[in-house]
Chain A
Amino acid sequence: MSPLQQYLILAVILFFIGAWGVLARRNIIMVIMCVELMFNAINVALVAFSNYSTTGAGRGEVFVFVIFALAAAEAAIGLAIAIAMYRLKQNLSVDDLDELRG
């Protein structure tokens, strides 16, 4: 198994742990944390690819920088929403966000 594959397998495992967390936890902030976990996994995969590629050297890192910024922005917004929701409903359970119920 080449090193590249090992890094990728690590990334996959991290990603799906985060995915499970998103689907399974009931607290909004928990969900946001797991989303950050997924971002990290992606970043790992990107850097691994960029490191072992013949033509794309360096581009992976650039992409990762952009993702850093975007992930940070998204975390900020998400947490602001969480705080607003806490003010409104006095709890952070995702199940209470069911206004779209059919």
Chain B
Amino acid sequence: MLLIPLLPLVSFVITGLFGKRYFKEKSHYLSVAAVAVSWALSMYVLVQVMGGERLNWQVYQWIAAGSFKVDIGILVDPLTAVMLLVVSTVGFMVHVYSIGYMKDDDGYYRFFAYLNLFMFSMFMLVLANNYLLLYVFWEAVGLCSYLLISFWFPKKSAANAGTKAFLVNRVGDFGFGLGIMLIFLTVGTLSYTGVFSSVATIGTGTITAICLLLFMGAMGKSAQFPLHVWLPDAMEGPTPVSSLIHAATMVNAGVYMVARSSPIFSQSQTAMLVVALVGSFTAIFAASIGLVQNDIKKVLAYSTISQLGYMFTALGVGAWTAGMFHLVAHGFFKGLLFLGSGSVIHAMSGEQDMRKMGGLKNKTKITYWTFVVGALAISGFPGLAGFFSKDSVLAGTFHKGYWYLWAVGLIAAFMTAFYMFRLIFMTFHGEPRDEKAYAHAHESPRSMTIPLIVLAVPSALIGLVLGLPPEDGYIDHLLHPVFENVLGEVHHFGLLDGGLMTLSALIGIGGIMMAWLFYVKRPDLPAKAGARAGFLYRAALNKYWIDEIYFALVINPVQALGRGLWRGVDQLAIDGFVNNAARFVRGIGNALRPSQSGGVQSYLMTMFLGLLVLTISYWLLTM
């Protein structure tokens, strides 16, 4: 059990320390092997859990300070197993993919070392059995994300993106930390079992506060509005990084954390509502920005934010299994889509702007077909994974009575289908817009295409495997024991659901058709629509100027404050104080030095005077 996280850790240490000198091009052997073994073990764990095994094991007592006790411990239950499935599979595929993608890069060994460190942290995060350990590895995955985003750190925009990710995450983590402290204050323990069993004893106000603080952390890590700003910029990192961390695993940590804390969240209606509202708003907000972006990775980034919004919506309305189902499905197809986009970028020799692409479907067949599978999945095309998972989310919101959230979700689904196929049509279909790059385009090496194919399989099939019959499928059964106390009444598939399902399928197909219309049949439409929409179009293109708002409201005032303090306090007061103290002492020295004239008689005089004064004052005092 411990091997799952420890193998990548060992590989990280060895590759990181020795990779530069000894491994170089062979660096990947150790790291990929480590992750492969971890994957195999994760599968084994999954099988065991499916068979009913559970584990709550205290490995080592880490802190024992009076009443504050924290262990390093491992909890394995269906939720963990499901997360392990996603993390290890996508991680394994990304490692293999990176062999091809990162070839000839100077930091080859460093990349794999960081990837392994990330795998270690993510595994431990999922396996942890108490909040403090969760928090530690929460920060650790943040660190890896930061390291990997700014992997090409000589490029200033990459370094800035890494810093931005770090800072925005910090804001969220601040809330998260406060939440954990509040938990400890009210309950006295931080282990999951301990906290969940005492949940009923906490007052509603405190519970809401705890939930909101924890959710703040999730907002930062999983890029929900308004802490979403770091994710699009994180696309500065190499594409495998975007795929692994920012699509399939790290951003899911927020969702995982909320799901794990379901006993706490379900006690507070307010908190749940907040989660759902933020989730659905983010879903539609990000989708609208993704509609008009021109960089292939940015479209996918906003898509990720939007889909995460879906997951939070599901969690917020109480459809826990639906949310987790979508997490699993999204992990696979978004990971696939990112790797596919990386393949496209590789084919276009580094070009990422879709306006320069076109007509690639003949040149990069494998990439094209796997990409289509992924896009269909995310659009909710009937039969593929996304269809089932997205539908369960929407059905969940509908059945719990949140009509408006359901409607928002539908609109966002339409937009999702639209922008995904816009991407496909602009990239793969039509005439090449840049002849020179098109001439160079070639299919990617096998190390990159094989993971694409491998990931396409679950994207297509996992819906069928886990999701049938809807709301009563295998995944519901698997996760039921975890969410036993909080699921409420289990809804069974009825006629209404059939209608809903058809409706969402139609919406998805409608989006695809509209994209086809806009970008294949009548390519002049986008420009016209853009002109008609005017302000909205420009707003979406500029990400609604959120970054600018942040700069004006937060960053510039803080920098001004810093400058002011530097000049006023540091230079003036502190330096002035220190310098003047020195000057003062020197001045006194200069004033007193003439008395040391070296002449004996003046000394005698002084002594005599002193003696006289002393005597007379003594005499006066004792009079």
Q: Chain B contacts of A101 at CB under 8 A? A: 596-598
CB–CB B598/A98 < 8 A: yes
Name the residue of chain B whose CB is nearest to the CB of A19.
B608
Whether A102 and B604, one on each chain, are in contact in the complex, defined by CB atoms closer than 8 angstroms, is no
Q: Which residue among B597, B601, B605 has the maximum number of chain A CB atoms within 10 Å of its CB? A: B601
Interface check A94, CB cutoff 8 A: yes
Query: Is the pair A98, B601 in contact by a Cβ cutoff of 8 Å?
Result: no
Tell me, yes or no, whether A37 is within 8 Å of chain B by CB: no
- In the complex the two chains form, what is the Cα distance from A23 to B605 in whole Å? 6
B604 & A97 in contact (Cβ 8 Å cutoff): no
Q: Is the CB of B597 within 8 A of A94?
A: no
Q: For chain A residues 74-100, which have a beta carbon within 8 Å of chain B?
A: 94-95, 97-100
> B600, A97: Cβ atoms under 8 Å?
yes
Determine if B205 is an interface residue (Cβ-Cβ < 8 Å): no
Nearest-CB residue, chain B, relative to A100: B598
Q: Does B51 contact A (CB under 8 A)?
A: no
Q: Verify if B534 is at the interface (C-beta below 8 Å from A).
A: no
Chain B residue nearest in CB terms to A26: B601
| Mask of B265-291 contacts with A, CB within 8 angstroms, 1/0 | 000000000000000000000000000
Whether A22 is near chain B, meaning CB under 8 Å from some CB there, is yes
* Inter-chain contact A22/B599, CB cutoff 8 Å: no
Task: Write the chain B residue with the least CB distance to A95.
Answer: B599
Hey, which chain A residues are within 8 Å of B599, CB to CB?
94-95, 97-98
Q: Knowing A19-B608, A23-B608 are in contact, say whether A102-B598 is a contact too (CB < 8 A).
A: yes
Could you tell me the distance between the alpha carbons of A98 and B594 in the complex, rounded to whole angstroms?
12
For residue B436, CB closer than 8 A to chain A, the reply is: no
Q: A12-28, CB under 8 A of B: which get 1 and which 0?
A: 00000001001100000
Does B593 count as interface, using CB distance less than 8 angstroms? yes
The total of chain A residues at the interface (CB under 8 A) is 12
A97 to B593 Cα, complex, angstroms:
17
Report the Cα distance A98→B601, complex, angstroms.
Answer: 11
- Least CB distance from A64 to B in Å reads 25
Kindly provide the distance from the CB of A55 to the nearest chain B CB, expressed in whole angstroms: 28
Distance in Å from the Cβ of B615 to the closest Cβ of chain A?
A: 14
**Inter-chain contact B601/A102, CB cutoff 8 Å:** no
User: A98 is contacted by which of B593, B597, B604, B608 (Cβ under 8 Å)?
Assistant: B597
Cross-chain contact of B598 among A19, A22, A31, A99 (Cβ < 8 A)? A99
Contacts of B605 in A (CB 8 A): 23
Q: For the complex, give the distance between the alpha carbons of A98 and B595 in Å.
A: 12
Give the residues from 569 to 623 in chain B that come closer than 8 angstroms, CB to CB, to chain A.
593, 596-601, 604-605, 608
Contacts of A99 in B (CB 8 A): 598
CA–CA, A98 to B599, complex, Å? 5
Residues in A whose Cβ lies below 8 Å from that of B597: 98, 101-102
Residues facing B in A1-49 (CB within 8 A) are 19, 22-23, 31
Contacts of B593 in A (CB 8 A): 102
B596: chain A residues at CB < 8 Å are 100-102
Whether the pair A23, B598 counts as a contact (CB closer than 8 A) is: no
Are A23 and B604 in contact, with the CB atoms below 8 A? Answer: yes
Chain A residue numbers with a CB within 8 Å of B598 are: 97-102
Q: In the bound complex, what is the Cα–Cα distance between A31 and B608 (angstroms)? A: 16
Q: Report the Cα distance A95→B601, complex, angstroms.
A: 8
| Min CB gap B526→A, angstroms | 89
Give bound CA distance, A94 to B597, whole Å: 12
Residues of chain B within 8 A (CB-CB) of A19 are: 608
Complex CA distance for A99 and B598, rounded to whole angstroms: 6
For A93, the closest partner residue in chain B by CB is B599
| Complex-state Cα separation, A31 to B596, whole angstroms | 21
Inter-chain contacts of B601 with A (CB < 8 A): 22-23, 31, 94
Chain A CB count within 10 A is highest, among B593, B596, B599, B605, for B599
Give Cα distance in the complex from A40 to B40, angstroms: 112
Cβ contacts under 8 Å, A102 to chain B: 593, 596-598
Chain B residues near A22: list those with CB within 8 A: 601, 604
**Which A59-76 residues sit within 8 Å CB-CB of chain B?**
none
Q: Enumerate 8 A-B pairs (CB-CB under 8 Å) in ascending A order.
A: A22-B604, A94-B600, A94-B601, A97-B599, A100-B596, A101-B596, A102-B597, A102-B598
Kindly list 6 other residue pairs between chains A and B, CB separation below 8 angstroms, not including A97-B600, A99-B598, A101-B598.
A23-B608, A98-B597, A98-B599, A101-B596, A102-B593, A102-B597
Binding site for B on A (CB under 8 A): 19, 22-23, 31, 94-95, 97-102
Q: Which 10 A-B pairs have the closest CB atoms?
A: A102-B596, A98-B598, A101-B598, A100-B598, A23-B605, A95-B599, A98-B599, A102-B593, A23-B601, A94-B601
